[in-house]
Chains A and B, each alone.
Chain A
Amino acid sequence: MVWWNVLMPVIEVTDLVKNYGDVEAVRGVSFSVEAGEVFAVLGPNGAGKSTIVEILEGHRSKSSGAVSVLGHDPGLAERSYRERIGIVLQDPAVEGQLTVEEVINVYGSMYPRRRKTGDLIELVGLEEKTHARIKTLSGGQKRRLELALGIVGDPELIFLDEPTTGFDPSARRQAWSIIDNLTSLGKTVLLTTHYMDEAQHLADRVAVIADGRIVATGTPETLGGRDTARTVITFHLDLQTVEGFPVAEMARLDSGLVTVKSDNPTRDLHLITGWALDHDVELAGLKVARPSLEDVYLELTGGDNHV
């Protein structure tokens, strides 16, 4: 590794625009990803995240703006660029007539640096399927093979396009631990997903895309002011017993459910529970929560129709 590799961002996108005819799919997007970072692009379908990733992969041309990945212009489709990246497609795309081992060998043969076929098969947990025809694999197994093909060339930067869509919970955990392994080796990962927990588990930083624009960037903990947002205290309460309730000015009552947004949760919670004990009232379903990443996401993308 030379000095500028450390100093320069792996991905640098400035004012990226992509038009399809009259439709503006991407409207001036800027972000950068540092070496070793896992960067998640979150957004509903049709928000433009696939278009952005495909421009970075070199599959699509940009309309305007500047894109630099590992010091290359992906639009030039250089062999030297493709030797350094790994792409994991959303839909598994390999010939069903071949075996797992054959396909990994053939794709591996294209790269100057390559991981050993046996190691890769072990990494993605397909040992028992080494000599099986790909058409006999389950959907999840095909996706794991896809993951193996994406990293067969030992890439510095990995593109993961919705890597666990369609996985059952245990397969997702397994895929996450594989991705964790990769990042612990210092690989940079650009991830698209519409799962909040996936972004939270894997990503160092998240950009939320809606309608072709980045509406928020941050760590999963701070996204959209999540860390400074008010704590929400909720509980059920009978209407007749509200008399003398201490923080009434902050409370909202909605068919028996009381919601208190608090900047000072320790004090307010103390007041509420103290009041409840004094009045011998049980606060059914008492919950103290910060807004979840999902709440923030829904607020940012302006809707809950896609989750």
Chain B
Amino acid sequence: MSERPSNRSLLQIQSAYQLRMFFRSPMAAFFTLFFPLMIFLVFSLVFGNSTSGVTGVTAAQYYAPAMAVFAAVSATYTNLAVTTAYQRDLGILKRVRGTPLPSSIYMVAKIVAATLIAALAVGIMMTIGVVFYGVQIFAATILSATVTFGVGVATFAALGLLVAAVSSSGEAATSITNATLLPLAFFSGIFIIPTADTPSWIETFSRIFPLKHFVEPFVAAFNPETVGAGWDWASILYMSLWGVVAVILAIRYFKWSPPQGREVRRRGRQSASVDT
């Protein structure tokens, strides 16, 4: 009997596998990597380098990190929810479940791949911002920005898997992620820079959800007026809380097999086309 493959090599192979699938899905790659970048370019063009809002920085200096967060959330939350739910529809999760691959390694590999894609998206966004739009990066806040990114990405990956767990189909997961992410992105100041005129209920409402707690400290880390290292522990802890609850619920409700009715319907079609 040969050796059982090590967890480490399994994790490497599975992460590479998930990454490869992402880069071979043009739609997913487009909406995750280029769509936020396009919005950033359009906003920078429209608002120019004028300073706007209460932040007192140029539009590019605000939108580069804000859209980087949007890209990171697309890479984790939307991507994981939609691809995982579709994989269940297709029976791929059921097939994986029938192999000796530990399910935890499969799930962690999905999160690792999503995190690397998120990091790539953030890297592209910030590089273009720095090179073409004079966006400044500050050594003092780089660590807090990185930690905020890490906790944010982990939280939204967990939320994505929770959506996959409770969705009845890939279509449902797509609807749920769009219906939650887009409004929250508006309320949380990703598309619209909060000003003194922003109604206070928007501020109060958006603070309930984790996105605000991801965007605010991450954008602040690129604000030249931020003093000190830019740590916002309250936001980081609040996000983590959402993440932990999401993990617990996702594990509780996750299903590997396609819904029974769906399977039977497909089977019925198949045998009908064969027998007649």
Contact = CB atoms under 8 A, between A and B. Distances in A.
Given A91-B270, A97-B21, A98-B24, A109 B10 contact: yes
A59 B257 CA distance: 8
Given A59-B97, A59-B98, A82-B99, A98 B21 contact: yes
A87 B100 CA distance: 11
Interface stretch (A110-118, A181-189, A202-210, A240-248): A110-118
Interface string A88-104: 01110111011000100
A79 B90 CA distance: 23
Nearest to B26: A97
Given A89-B91, A91-B270, A165-B271, A110 B98 contact: no
9 contacts: A59-B98, A85-B98, A87-B95, A93-B95, A94-B95, A97-B20, A112-B5, A153-B99, A166-B273
Contacts of B270: 91, 165-166
A56 B86 CA distance: 26
Given A82-B99, A165-B271, A166-B270, A112 B9 contact: no
Contacts of A165: 270-271, 274
- The range of chain A's interface size is 20 to 34
A31 interface: no
Interface in B1-58: 1-5, 9-10, 13-14, 17, 20-21, 24-25
Contacts of B99: 82, 107, 110-111, 153
Given A91-B266, A93-B92, A110-B5, A82 B98 contact: yes
A111 B1 CA distance: 11
Interface string B119-141: 00000000000000000000000
Given A91-B267, A112-B2, A112-B5, 11 more contacts: A59-B257, A80-B100, A87-B95, A89-B91, A91-B270, A93-B92, A93-B94, A98-B24, A106-B13, A111-B99, A166-B274
Interface in A292-307: 307
Interface in B66-80: none
Interface of B: 1-5, 9-10, 13-14, 17, 20-21, 24-25, 87, 90-92, 94-95, 97-102, 256-257, 263, 266-268, 270-271, 273-275
Contacts of A75: none
A45 interface: yes
A97 B22 CA distance: 9
A282 to B, nearest CB: 37
